[in-house]
């Protein structure tokens, strides 16, 4: 299904888009979701792909300066470029992250991790998760954490289980990832 082009920039559509009108942004989401999905899919897969797709639309909703960046021409090409750049930025940020095992063990990320027995690994992971829940995770995000990070559900299934929109879930997931990173990096320094 090809995305429908945005109306010509001479129309009031552009002014309404720049103003961030809910109806226009909803139409943008419905008509151009596949464009963003394809652009992000050139770089990312799985949950990361879904996260970035929804982050692109979240940014369109939240940032007037981003919407003001479109001044005419092909809306589809502009949006695909925005999406691809966000996917690349996401990939660059996360490829530098250290593995959970390396951080949890306090080891040097450049050194290979010594194998651990599966039972020990499961117990350590469970203790680490419980500690994260107690010390840092806000109760309002506990259900999203459980669905996405513990149960490993995809965003659509997790949002349905928790009873929130995928956009809200994606936002909470990003916030939880930041807390996890802070928690794990803090553990690695001990």
Examine the pLDDT at 144 and tell me if it is beyond 90: yes
Q: Which domain holds residue 173?
A: 100-188
Let me know if residue 3 belongs to a domain: no
> How does DSSP classify residue 156?
H
CB-based contact 76:32 (threshold 8 Å)? yes
Over range 88-97, report the average pLDDT: 76
| 129 and 161 inside one domain | yes
Mean pLDDT of the chain: 81
Please identify which residue in the block is written with the tokens 């027995």.
117
**Among candidate residues 95, 129, 154, the one where a domain is terminated:** 95
Q: For residue range 103-121, what is the model confidence (pLDDT) as tens digits?
A: 555 555 444 444 445 666 7
The pLDDT > 90 percentage for the chain reads 44
Let me know if residue 6 belongs to a domain: no
* Alpha helices in the chain, H assignment, sequence order: 12-19, 22-41, 46-62, 64-68, 75-95, 100-105, 118-135, 142-145, 155-162, 166-188
Q: For residue range 40-87, what is the model confidence (pLDDT) as tens digits?
A: 989 888 888 988 999 999 999 899 999 999 988 899 999 999 999 999
Confidence of residue 142 (pLDDT cuts 50, 70, 90): very high
In terms of phi and psi (left: phi > 0; alpha: psi -120 to 50; beta: otherwise), the region of 152 is left
Query: Looking at the 3D structure of the chain, how many domains does it have?
Result: 2
As a dihedral over the C-alpha atoms of residue 124, residue 126, residue 132, residue 134, rounded to 10 degrees, the angle is: -120
| 76 and 130 inside one domain | no
Burial of 158 (0-12, 13-18, 19+ CB in 10 A): buried
Q: Is the pTM of this model over 0.85?
A: no
| 91 and 104 inside one domain | no
């Amino acid at each position: 299904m090809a995305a429908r082009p945005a109306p010509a920039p001479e129309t009031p559509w552009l002014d309404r888009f720049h103003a961030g009108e809910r109806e226009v942004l909803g139409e943008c989401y419905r008509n151009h979701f596949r464009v963003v999905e394809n652009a992000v899919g050139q770089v990312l897969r799985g949950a990361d792909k879904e996260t970035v797709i929804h982050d692109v639309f979240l940014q369109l909703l939240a940032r007037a300066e981003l919407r003001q960046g479109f001044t005419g021409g092909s809306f589809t090409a502009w949006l695909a470029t925005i999406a691809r750049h966000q996917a690349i930025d996401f990939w660059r940020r996360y490829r530098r992250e250290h593995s959970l095992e390396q951080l949890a063990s306090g080891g040097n990320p450049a050194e290979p991790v010594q194998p651990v027995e599966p039972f020990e690994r499961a117990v350590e992971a469970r203790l680490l998760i419980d500690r994260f829940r107690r010390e840092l995770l806000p109760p309002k995000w506990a259900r999203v954490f459980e669905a996405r990070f513990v149960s490993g559900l995809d965003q659509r299934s997790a949002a349905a289980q928790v009873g929130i929109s995928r956009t809200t879930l994606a936002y909470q997931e990003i916030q939880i990832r930041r807390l996890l990173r802070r928690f794990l990096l803090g553990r690695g320094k001990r």
